[in-house]
Chain A
Amino acid sequence: MTVNALAFYAAAVLIVLAAAAAVGLPSLRLASYAGAATVVLLAILDVVSHAYMLAAIEIVVPGLALGIVVLVLRREQYRDLGASTDAGSRWWLGGPVALAAGLVLVVTLAIVGPSWYSDIVVSIAKAVTPAALITVLHYDAPYALVIAVVLIAVTVAAGLVIGRRSGDEQTLDQHLQARREREERARRRRDDRQAGRRRPAQEDS
């Protein structure tokens, strides 16, 4: 199937720029916007490649996870977690490693060209009866669907176990809250007393 070259290169350039922004921007908020843009651009690349169902999955699955992340980060106790000014302080480590890995991969793939996977795989893939993705997952590869469902269930369970607050943390939070309320009451009493002392002095004058 033919892929529109112009659309491919436009999507490719935007993907690289968005990915670079996602890892390079110091503000975590802007970086996360760039990350979300990368996901959307990958879905657009899927559309360009005529993989429409995959594009929908590419948007829906990470989109759901991203929504949960945003909801959690809006909580009071995690508000400061999003503040970051670190723009890659270990560039001296990440730069050479990424450059070396990228060079090895790009040079190898450029030399190998279109045959980066075996023709046997292509012939097997083409021999499979063409069908819609949802049909394949339901009838031809149900194990893949089952594994995916189990993976999601395990992730939700593990996320809840890791992310939940322990009893000690809840008690500590309650103590901190009570302390904040006590301090607030004490401050108000102090302000009232000072205001009370100032009032008779003003009346006398």
Chain B
Amino acid sequence: MNIGNGQYAVLSAVVFAIGLYGVFARRHPLAVVMALGLLFAAPLIALAGFISATAVNQRAPLGGALATMAIIAATCLCSIGFALVLLLWRRSGRADVDALGDIEE
């Protein structure tokens, strides 16, 4: 049985949906950041399929470059999110996204 980019895309969609559930359902900010990481990781699966479909002699320059950028961007976004969580914790002393509304200047 051949594995095409369609299978990769479906897997990517499932992981995206799981990440979306985490972002909406969890209240702990670290859990939300982790779910955001899953959201960002989902397109990487589709990109892996793209690489697999377009690779010539086991080398896929375009897909690889795109995926590298996506990994770095996702990691940077999650890192900034983590720094914001630390700020929220220090300001409010609560690990709850609802505490965002309680922060005063």
Tell me the A residues contacting B by CB distance below 8 Å.
1-5, 8, 12, 15-16, 19-20, 22-24, 28, 31-32, 35, 38-39, 42, 45-46, 49-51, 53-54, 57-58, 61-62, 65, 68-69, 72, 77-78, 80-84, 86, 88-91, 93-95, 97-99, 101-102, 105-106, 109-110, 112-114, 116-117, 122, 124-126, 128-133, 135-137, 140-141, 144, 147-148, 151-152, 154-155, 158-159, 162-163, 165, 169
Inter-chain contact B75/A62, CB cutoff 8 Å: yes
* Residues of A contacting B: mostly: helix
With A86-B27, A130-B56 known as contacts, the answer to whether A162 contacts B87 (CB < 8 A) is yes
Docked Cα-Cα span, A51 to B50, in Å, equals 11
Number of interface residues of B (CB under 8 A): 76
Task: Select one of A42, A83, A86, A152 contacting B76, CB under 8 A.
Answer: A152
Tell me the B residues contacting A by CB distance below 8 Å.
1-11, 13-28, 30-31, 34-35, 37-38, 41, 44-46, 48-65, 67-69, 71-76, 78-80, 82-87, 89-90, 95
| Number of A-B pairs, beta carbon distance below 8 Å | 264
